[in-house]
Amino acid sequence: MGAFDGGLCRATARLSVRWSATAFAVSAAFAVVVALLERADTSARFAADYTLSDGVLAWVLPLLAYSGVGRVSGSGRADDAVREVARHGENRRTAFVGLVVATGLRVASISALVAPLSVVVARGRLDLPSLSDALTSGWIAALGGGAYVALFSLGSLFGRSGQGRAVLLGADFMLGALPSGIATAFPRAHLASLIGGPAVMGLAGWQSTGCLYAIGLGCLALGALRVSP
């Protein structure tokens, strides 16, 4: 087993089935409550949009990713989490990439289940348009979840206990919602744009998708560079 597999195993062990089930249950419960409230307040179509924009993508995704990265990092630095893997000579940098990839996949999977669920509940029926919206929201949430994990993993390489991820969480909440160029650096703005919200700096949907990929891969690459081999 190599360093990448070691990082994968480390993350998989930390994000156990129990953690994943709990994370899904809490996220789904929150999303369903928001969906029901929105449905009671507005039409079915808008209820789904508001549930996604104000509930799932704005709150569930960042907090789920933050929680997942914190869990994997043992509430410390992400590179400390792979010390055991690197101890006998495996590359710490590669192990870190494995750790982030596994965490990203797990968070993306949970996000991809919660978002469609919230759409279906908000719509109140399971027909073709709802199913199409559910699938679309699923991949957007999965992409957003992955981008958030990479962002917070990079943050957790700063500070003695990885406090940088809390700084980035706060920055995403505050700066990601601003109608300015700085918002393009955070997933929040692009996720809002992809589900029909205001475009960030006039970027088209496919460009926002590209930005989310860039944020995810860029943060992963920067994080790998920051970790000592």
**Closest approach of other proteins to the CB of residue 159, in Å:** 14
Q: Which is nearer to other proteins, 47 or 86 (CB)?
A: 86
**Closest approach of other proteins to the CB of residue 188, in Å:** 33
**CB contact set of 8 (below 8 Å; sequence gap of 6+):** 98, 99, 101, 102
Amino acid residing at 97: V
Q: Which is nearer to other proteins, 18 or 125 (CB)?
A: 18
Q: Which is nearer to other proteins, 125 or 228 (CB)?
A: 228
Smallest CA-to-CA distance from 31 within 126, 129, 113, 132 is with: 113
Contacting residues toward other proteins, per CB under 8 A: 1, 6, 9-10, 13, 83-84, 86-92, 228-229
DSSP state of 199: P
Rounded Cα gap, residues 141 and 205, in angstroms? 14
Q: Which is nearer to other proteins, 49 or 90 (CB)?
A: 90
Q: How many CB atoms lie within 10 A of CB 27?
A: 25
User: At residue 44, what are phi and psi to the nearest 5 degrees?
Assistant: -60, -40
Q: Which is nearer to other proteins, 10 or 39 (CB)?
A: 10
Q: Which is nearer to other proteins, 32 or 86 (CB)?
A: 86
**Closest approach of other proteins to the CB of residue 99, in Å:** 12
**CB contact set of 125 (below 8 Å; sequence gap of 6+):** 44
Q: Which H or E element spans position 65?
A: helix 61-72
**Closest approach of other proteins to the CB of residue 154, in Å:** 18
CB 96 within 8 A of CB 10: no
Cβ burial 74-83 (10 Å sphere, 16+ → b, else e): eeebbbbbbe
Return the structure tokens found at 101: 């990839």
